[in-house]
Amino acid sequence: MASAPAQQPTLTVEQARVVLTEVIQAFSVPENAARMEEARESACNDMGKMLQLVLPVATQIQQEVIKAYGFNNEGEGVLKFARLVKMYETQDPEIAAMSLKLKSLLLPPLSTPPIGSGIPTS
């Protein structure tokens, strides 16, 4: 027998700002920063390895913060929180800026090849 779905947490714009601030600060905690650095070094800037090694650590760090706000303590809670933030990004420039900062903590900077070094034409 399936259990009833959990109540989806809802946050106001102000609450979303507070939670985002706490999530970003959680990545600065020395223990979490060391965990992220270790995962990044192991991934060697390989996107596939980033997904395998860095994303789970980042998800755990976020879960520790957002569970206090009613999001479940599984990956689904992080996805719901991300969708909520995405919805508020268009309404609130502060949330949009914080969301960009959070993404920069999670993803490596994308390096673009220099102009003229693209795929050779034959």
Tokens of 98: 């914080």
How high is the pLDDT of residue 94?
96
CB contact at 8 A, 27 and 61: yes
pLDDT tens by residue, 27-69: 999 999 999 999 999 988 788 888 899 999 999 999 999 999 9
Q: Which of 67, 110, 81 is nearest to 16 (CA)?
A: 81
pLDDT exceeds 70 at position 90: yes
pLDDT band of 2, cuts 50, 70, 90: very low
How high is the pLDDT of residue 4?
41
How many separate helices (H) and strands (E) can be counted in the chain? 6, 0
pLDDT exceeds 90 at position 14: yes
For the whole model, what pTM was predicted?
A: 0.79
What is the distance between the alpha carbons of residues 27 and 10, in angstroms, rounded to a whole number?
Answer: 23
